[in-house]
Amino acid sequence: MSTSLINTEIKPFNATAFHAGKFVPVSDADLKGKWSVVFFYPADFTFVCPTELGDLADTYGEFQKLGVEIYSVSTDTHFTHKAWHDSSETIGKITYPMIGDPTGAITRNFGVMIEEAGLAERGTFVIDPQGKIQIIEINAGGIGRDAAELLRKVKAAQYVASHPGEVCPAKWKEGDATLAPSLDLVGKI
């Protein structure tokens, strides 16, 4: 990406997801009004991807307690998502929407398309209720992500959004002290 997407509004999209045993429409409007995580991964029926999606499935309830919806996205179709969900014990645990992006439009909107392969990078985007991107993480294909660390980052983003003038330092966890940037802090940390 040549320009950061931080604090930019998500671009319009329309897609179909496999969710709760059905094919359902999903659009950019569904991501607004609440916190959302858009979790791109290269492909269904692969190796690192099911470990990440299973990890998210295991922590999904914690995200929901925070009012956060998870959307996984790959360039596979929603039909492929259903087949994977029905045939894999790990993927069968997923109860969040699995968006199909066979044209790559959503993947390109977020700047994570690997054009020569037609696949998505391992990109994670945390979107605030106004539809603005607050966190971006992109990993190389062989490096899986950690849902617990993502949950920590979402909590920090929500804290900062609801406490103007405060920021969360490194390794901040819910309940830890925050910082209030000021001239008095310069050189004191």
Is 70:61 a contact under the CB 8 Å cutoff?
A: no
CA 40 to chain centre: 7
Residue 174 has a CB neighbour count (10 Å cut-off) of: 12
* 71 and 36 Cβ atoms separated by less than 8 Å: yes
From the list 5, 49, 56, 112, the catalytic residue is 49
Q: How far apart are CA 12 and CA 106, in angstroms?
A: 9
168 has catalytic annotation: no
Q: What are phi and psi of 159, to 5 degrees?
A: -65, -50
Spatial strand order of the sheet with 122-127 comes to 22-27, 14-19, 98-100, 68-74, 35-40, 122-127, 133-139
Of 118, 92, 95, residue with least CA distance to 105: 118
- Which positions are catalytic? 49
